[in-house]
Chain A
Amino acid sequence: MNVQSPNSFRMGPDEEGQFGIFGGRFVAETLMPNILELDEAYTKAKKDPEFLSELEYLNKHYTGRPSPLYFAERLTEHLGGAKVYFKRDELNHTGSHKINNCLGQILLAKRMGKKRIIAETGAGQHGVASATVAARFGYPCMVYMGAKDVHRQSPNVFRMKLLGAEIESVTAGAGTLKDAMNEALRDWVTNVEDTYYLIGTAAGPHPYPELVRDFQSVIGKETREQIQEAEGRLPDMLIASVGGGSNAIGLFHPFLDDESVQIVGVEAGGKGLDGDEHCASLTAGRPGVLHGNRTYLLQDAEGQIEEGASISAGLDYPGIGPEHSWLKDTGRVEYVPIMDTEALEAFQLLCRLEGIIPALEPSHALAEVVKRAPAMDKDQIIVMNLCGRGDKDVHTVAEALGIEV
């Protein structure tokens, strides 16, 4: 499917919350007033200097922004091609980019006078970030997490509990992120009056994809400044992993209109695209409607949603944020799959070459860097979003490598 390319890639969404045909507001009537209220609150907040300066203050003093842009010298040498830089959002408070979005949304919840926070989580990084901001601002917090993820991301489960959140282990379906999101939506429909749903990725009904993107765009904005400072020019290529797509859109969005910048999103290829054990919604899915938006989905011929599969809990989602679907169809961003085994290798490579233990999600992006950099010139530049640290994944990796810890 190819659509005509627009004058600017940075204007979306439109009034209806759509990026081309993607996005929209496909939700139960019970939620509509709330979603409209959120839209109104966000439209006001993003123009309010007080809101913006409070967020900026928290980003700086609570999260530790700006995160460094780091030249990975040894990796670059090893690959023998383009210069590789990492945007180090894994150094953020709570260990991933998820906090950028959570701080923005908790300030919105406060403005809207909500009394209770709910969130869904896959890897647990968003759950931890949500529990963190809920603790910081004094809200009760309920986190929905698939039973399978509760097991494979157990360190994060305990962190959330320490932070005072309640965890609901979801056994429906395959017990992963999609099912957690269904359950969070059910909670929201039931407690719509006082509850704020803090969505963890740039998906869901409008205005979530837009506001999550905006809060995550701090990544790309900083990157622009930092690479100018380091290299005096823009990078040739951006690479980021896409689960729901929030870290990726955060890095990509400020560069979408810079034609010279090639942009690559990396999906979870799981055990390969031939079978059904993968999570490559853009590469192997079709447009459909789920969780409030129209977007590429893994589904069967009759529109029943299929479970994804990936070694990385954070990428284990059969959908994708609607803006990515549009960026794929317009051809502005290229999306490729990376297999579990490739991600595992990249994970280990980074540990040994740079002394950084990455999360499994950005390990997918890294595997793509490993493929691309050697074929590029030495004066070319790749920036990769190193959006999370790997502490949470060490058990999963040990298991995959057949090592007992």
Chain B
Amino acid sequence: MTQRMTNRFAKLAEENRPAFVTYFMGGDPNFETSVEIMKGLPAAGADVIELGMPFSDPMADGPSIQAAGLRALKQGQNLTRTFDMVRAFREHDEETPIVLMGYYNPIYQYGSEKFLDDAKEAGVDGMIIVDLPPEMDEELCIPALSRDLNFIRLATPTTDEKRLPKVLSNTSGFLYYVSINGITGAAAPKPEEVAKSVTHIKAKTDIPICVGFGVRTAEQAAVIGRAADGVVVGSAIVSTVAESLNGDQPTENTVSNTLELVASIAEGVRTARN
């Protein structure tokens, strides 16, 4: 684990509260606005930041994240700019862990080794690459771990007893438990089932377990946060950005609406164990 990630989860454990992990799309609706959103996230209550890297064919994402990615690509978002965002953020915040989230092909084209070196240098802590299951660890996971970058794996309701050890191996930072079979922004998870799965996985590992997919409100976040070490919210944030736009252009409400939503869900996360 990177020091930042270790420190953050240690501090949260001390405070006995779950992490609030916020996903947003880098470069949406444009570079400057998304940097502003990113810089505002910690004060609004985000404990860990997932920075989305747009891809033309996001096969595990629903309509809102797909659309956000296309807006970002249209504005020229790419990996170089993604790292620029991280650098800009790190000028003011040395503590909040940053996890890049996206698909493999843009990284493969950039060059896996160069991607990892540049990510490390910019101040990235880890990555979630949707289409790199454990079977493909040689591609990016192993080289990432050797640079002390976290490779955060997804576990899902289809991850059965037999498969779990494989998913847990080489996972670091935290485990992202996808609460439903489905794409981002789809159905809401069932809290009882999530709690059961989290307890089950916890028996097998010491790394924190964050739960996401389908969490949209403070209430849902509070319920999920009772069992999980962290709650991930993505589509709700991305949709709020989208709803604030005028055409594809940001408005004066884009940053404020987004951060207000984050703050309100953060409330829910913080009261989860009260």
**A interface, CB within 8 angstroms of B:** 16, 24-34, 172-173, 178, 182, 185-186, 189-193, 286, 288-292, 294, 297, 299, 301-305
Contacts and interface: CB of A to CB of B under 8 A. Distances in A.
Given A16-B135, A27-B133, A192-B158, A303 B108 contact: yes
B181 A193 contact: yes
A28 B56 contact: no
Contact of A33 (B55, B103, B159): B159
Contacts of B157: 30
By size class, the interface of chain B is 35 or more
A28 B109 contact: no
30 contacts: A26-B131, A26-B136, A28-B60, A28-B131, A28-B156, A29-B154, A29-B155, A29-B156, A30-B60, A30-B154, A30-B181, A32-B158, A173-B57, A186-B60, A189-B60, A189-B182, A189-B183, A190-B182, A190-B186, A192-B158, A192-B181, A288-B105, A292-B131, A297-B105, A301-B109, A302-B79, A302-B110, A303-B55, A305-B56, A305-B57
A208 to B, nearest CB: 15
B209 to A, nearest CB: 14
Contacts, number: 113
Contacts of B182: 30, 189-190
B156 A303 contact: no
Interface in B146-165: 153-160, 163
Interface string B58-72: 111010001000000
A289 B183 CA distance: 19
Contacts of B153: 29
A192 to B, nearest CB: 5
A32 B60 contact: no
A114 to B, nearest CB: 14
Contacts of A193: 158, 181
A301 B130 CA distance: 21
A291 B59 contact: yes
Contacts of A290: 57, 105
A29 B178 contact: yes
A288 B131 CA distance: 13
Interface of B: 55-60, 62, 66, 73, 78-79, 103-110, 130-136, 153-160, 163, 167, 178, 181-183, 186
A34 B73 contact: no
Contacts of B181: 30, 189-193
B73 A304 contact: yes
Given A302-B110, A303-B110, A32 B133 contact: yes
A226 to B, nearest CB: 40
A50 to B, nearest CB: 27
B81 to A, nearest CB: 10
B154 A305 contact: no
B136 A288 contact: no
Contacts of B56: 173, 304-305
A210 B111 CA distance: 28
B158 A185 contact: no
A30 B178 contact: yes
Contact of A289 (B108, B133, B154): B108
A60 B32 CA distance: 63
A188 to B, nearest CB: 9
Given A29-B154, A190-B183, A302-B78, A178 B57 contact: yes
A189 to B, nearest CB: 6
Given A172-B66, A185-B59, A290-B57, A32 B109 contact: no
3 tightest A-B CB contacts, nearest first = A303-B109, A303-B106, A190-B182
A177 B153 CA distance: 30
Contact of B130 (A28, A182, A286): A28
Contacts of B158: 29-34, 192-193
A30 B167 CA distance: 11
B59 A28 contact: yes
Given A30-B60, A30-B157, 18 more contacts: A16-B135, A24-B135, A26-B131, A28-B133, A28-B156, A29-B133, A30-B156, A30-B182, A32-B133, A173-B56, A182-B57, A185-B60, A189-B59, A190-B183, A193-B181, A291-B59, A294-B108, A302-B78
Contact of A304 (B55, B60, B183): B55
Contact of A288 (B109, B133, B156): B109
